[in-house]
Amino acid sequence: MKINVITIDGPSASGKGALALGIANIFGFKILDSGSLYRLFAYFLKMKLSSNEIADQIKMNIEFNKSNEKLIILHEGKDITSELRSEEIAKLASEYGSKKTVRDSLYSIQRNFYDGNILVADGRDMGTVVFKDAKLKIFLTASPEERAKRRYIELQNRGQEVNMPALLADIKERDLKDSSREISPLIPAEDSHLIDSSNMSLKEVCSIAKNLIKKEFI
Ligand code: C5P
């Protein structure tokens, strides 16, 4: 049986997070940013916590606060969003994300975000592994150059130092790692709707998604 989940998968900086937030705000849906769980894993591993301790920290001491503009992540009340969004943590998250033990320990945490109400889940394997039974699946992509440009603006706005050629190289490296790993590789689910946002604004992508949601849920 299909469950009330909208999955949005795709490569780094393809706009999955912005689309998920946009849809969640328009319709009042719950949201799961699964990439942040992998980033949290990397963040806590850097603090030398064990896998079990990390899972406990995520379950008990992490809070996700959704505002209109962004998703804020709090650890014991402290805003750690900027630290989690750094390129260093992204690289580590991608490295640990290729390990079966890491993916297994995050599987039930991700599944538990679904409580029967409509959930928007974005990541790499939402439609292929975690919510295989989702009612609506979207695969959102864009050219590496366009994605590097978007990430550049995002990091600059956060006041972080950025270097465009290095950013593009990082994105290409992460694409390769994410799509060629053995476990849960980044590939579109067979029953997903493919959207290439290279030449589209967020508003245009949201509008396509809105029509798909209306067809499926409303
Ligand atoms: O989406 P985001 O860039 O925050 O994800 C960070 C990293 O976490 C990705 O590069 C990817 O390797 C990993 N990830 C994953 N599976 C997911 C979400 C993220 O392996 N469902």
Residue of the CA atom closest to atom 6 of ligand 1: 35
Indicate whether 71 pLDDT > 90.
yes
Distance of CA 218 from the midpoint of ligand 1 (Å): 30
Pocket probe for ligand 1: among 9, 83, 94, 125, the residue whose CB has the most ligand atoms within 8 Å is: 94
- DSSP lists the bridge partners of residue 63 as 74
Q: What is the mean pLDDT of the chain?
A: 95
Which residues have C-beta within 8 Å of that of residue 212, sequence separation ≥ 6?
A: 136, 138, 193
pTM of the predicted protein model: 0.95
Atom of ligand 1 nearest to the CA of 36: 4
Express each pLDDT in 120-159 by its tens digit. 999 999 999 999 999 999 999 999 999 999 999 988 988 8
Express each pLDDT in 172-188 by its tens digit. 998 999 999 999 999 99
